[in-house]
Every structure is written in C-alpha cells, then in structure tokens.
Amino acid sequence: MTVLIRGAYLRGREGSWDLAIEGERIAALDRSLEVSAEREIDGAGCLLVPGLVNGHMHFDKCMLGDVMRPNESQTLQEAIYITWDHKREYTPAEIADRAAPVVDRGIVHGTTAVRAFADVDPIGGTVPVEGLLELKARFEGETHFEVVAFPQEAIVREPGTAVLMEECMRLGADVVGGLPWYERTDGAMRDHVDFCFELAERTGKDIHMLVDDTDDAYSRSLEYLAVRAIEEGYQGRVSASHCGALAAYDHSHAEKVIGLVREAEITVFSNAQISLVMDGRNDRGLIRRGTTRVKELLAAGVNVASAQDDVNDPYYPFGRPDQLEVGQYMAHVAQLTYPSELETVFDMVSANAARALRLDGYGIEPGALADLVLIEAPTVRDALRLLPPRRAVFHRGRLVAESRAESVRHRAGG
C-alpha cells in the first residue's frame, strides 16, 4: 500500500514537503510528489518526524497506583516494599493486561519503540519477564518492543538472582539489565557489573543499567561500568539511567567520569520527571532536582536521552505516557529552553534514544523505515510547548494511530 503525506514541515528544512510510504519504508521525499497513493494524509501545518522512542519504562509495575496501599513514609524504600506486595501475586497475563493500555496510549502519542524493564528477583522469579514477553507478542507489528531482564533487588546481595537472570535471557529477554549501585559494597558492585558483561557477551545482548540513582557522592558504579565497557569492546552497546551521583561529585572527578562515559560511548538516560519527585526528599531550603549533569554530558559529546520510566506506580503517580511531555519536563529541569537547546531536547526523546536502542533505518530519508509521527504543530518548540495531538502515527509503514482535537470557543454575547 502506498501512503502519501502532503505538505508537512520537516526539522532542519525550509518549506513544506511531501513524503511517500511504500510497504515498510519511505519511498520518496520531495517538495512536491506526483504519485498514485491508496491513501493521502493532509500534513499542512504539521511537523513530520521519525517515531518517538521511550527507552526506559517499567511496564511490569505500571498502573499499580490504582490498587496499591499508600506510601506512608513517602520513601523509595517503601515504594519497593509496596511493589513486593504485588509482585508476589503477579501472573504473566495480569502484567500484560495491566500494561497493554499504557502501551496503546504511548503509541497514540507517537511512540514507535520502547525498552521495557522487567524485575528479576526471587520474589517474582521470571514472571515479570514472561509478562512483558507476552505483552511484546501482543504488539508485534505495532511498535518495536525490547524486554530488559532487570535485577531490581541487585544480584550479589540477593542469592539466586544470577540464575534467574540467565533463565530470563533463555526465555527471550532482549537486553541485560543491572542495578550495581544497590549492592552493599564496592566489591559486590564490581562483581555485579562483571556478571552482567559476562552474561551479555555470552548471549550477544546489549546492556542497560540503572546507575547511581542517589545523591551520595561516594556511589561510583558509573565509572566502573564505563571502564568495563571500554575493556570489553562494548562501546555503543551500553546505556546507564539516572546517574544522579555524578551531580554530587566534585567537578574534577565528574569531568574524569564524563570523559570515561564518552570514551565508552555510553548513552545516559536522564528521566527528569522521576528524579524531581524521588530525589532530594530529605533536603531543606534549596531542594536539589535529582538529575545528572545533563548539560555537561551533552557538551562533552555524550549521547543523552530521556524516557517516561514510570506510569502510575509506587514511584510516580502520573505519566501519560507521552515522550513530548517527557521532553518538556527535561527542558524545565535541565534549563534547556533556548531554541537550539529545544532541538536537543527533542533529540533526547527521539534520535538519541533510537541510537541507544541501535534502531536500524531510523530517520526521514528515502529507504528509511517508515516509523513516523505527524504532530499537529509546525515546529519543535510548539510541539514541546503545546503537546498537541499526533495526527498520524506509522510503524514500519503501517498506520497504527490517528488523533484529532476539536474545540469550540463560545464568546460572551455571541
């Protein structure tokens, strides 16, 4: 089937453009196309971009906010305990049923690729991974979906987790996850990282760890992760989320670590909306934002991305999920509000995240995969400012969602 999108705006190009889709790929792109198409979509006034990418999302926990008990202490630790209550009762079908509407909503908002984290620990066993693998199967052909085997309770401190991680990779998990900073000692942290690299190399998978999600300046797992990535030749295949402790280091040490991260070609995911509500809760007066050194990482040439992370769960009561909203939060929290910075923010929820997932054929050019979003706004600034409807969303050339907003304004006396 041939689809023609007419008169849309593109980033970095003047005027309006026509784009033709044939099968799974972009067939043509020009100022004016004369092609026969089975379907034509009016892109006038809209921005046409490659699909948005949610590269860090805990789908196994999403929507627990509807059924969980209150977090009385309002702490991260109690949020973990609340999750345990539900994890003991999980089934694969229950997880998939609960998460499916959130995946649907993300697609409506233009997300064409997700990386989904599933807890792996003796409490839930392999059930969360099984649930997200079922979810992945349900959305085959509608979104790119990766499952991360994520040791939520760490590995060394929780005997039996290493065996479960290996089993989850055999079941079909796509990415080896990690949580090294949560180990009890620096030695255990290093053993954790080493195990994850050994498992990833043995299974041929990439690595995505949650790293130093704390304001403790002595939490140093990021630098060890970077060194191991360099030593193992894993450049470009490792992602690290949060990295909050980096902001607490003295500047000279932070610069050293940033240099290692750049050399290792690690993607750093900073999820601003989550850091804002989870970090700095014991601060008084000037309360820290909890995010890592986003601007310094960007200035050093590190690939930085941002993701939804949580939706209505023990850690975060909100979440649409909408990567444009995620970008808007990042613009506020990291103070990335000048025109060129807004372009960078948009990249953080699209191209930069796509690079982390190593998505083939990503972009807008003939021959690229037709993972596309038509946003009802003419510019990146307006897209981030207004969070408008996504008029059309395509995954591999297939129209998977359409949205329109209609409002009627009634004037006084009219």
Quick check: 90 pLDDT over 90? yes
| Confidence band, pLDDT 50/70/90 cuts, at residue 167 | very high
pLDDT bracket for residue 72 (50, 70, 90): confident
All structural domains of the chain with their residue ranges: 2-50+363-402, 54-356
Q: Which of 344, 328, 311, 332 is nearest to 386 (CA)?
A: 328
Whether the predicted pLDDT of 245 surpasses 80: yes
The DSSP H or E segment spanning 324 is helix 323-333
Q: Hunting for tokens 């049923």 — which residue is that?
A: 97
**Which CATH number does the domain 54-356 belong to among 2.60.120.10, 2.102.10.10, 3.30.70.870, 3.20.20.140?**
3.20.20.140
Position 273 scores a pLDDT of: 96
Q: How far apart are CA 75 and CA 71, in angstroms?
A: 7
pLDDT at residue 281, as a whole number: 84
The CA–CA distances, whole Å, from 376 to 9, 43, 57, 83, 398 equal 10, 8, 25, 38, 19
Q: How confident is the model at residue 413 (pLDDT cuts 50, 70, 90)?
A: confident
What is the sign, positive or negative, of the torsion defined by CA atoms of 284, 285, 291, 293? negative
pLDDT value of position 280: 87
137: tokens are 């199967």
- DSSP characters for 38-66? SEEEE-TT-EEEEPEEEEEE-TTTTTGGG
Q: How confident is the model at residue 414 (pLDDT cuts 50, 70, 90)?
A: low
Render pLDDT for 206-228 as a digit per residue (tens, 0 to 9): 999 999 999 999 999 999 999 99
CATH 2.30.40.10, applies to 2-50+363-402: yes
pLDDT confidence of residue 73: 85
Distance CA 268, CA 258 (A): 10
| Residues in the chain, overall count | 414
Handedness of CA 319, 320, 321, 326 (dihedral sign): negative
User: Model's pTM, two decimal places?
Assistant: 0.97
Q: What is the mean pLDDT of residues 56-83?
A: 90
Mean pLDDT of the chain: 97
Q: What is the pLDDT of residues 3-43, one digit of tens each?
A: 999 999 999 999 999 999 999 999 999 999 999 999 999 99
Q: Taking 80 as the threshold, does the pLDDT of residue 305 lie above it?
A: yes
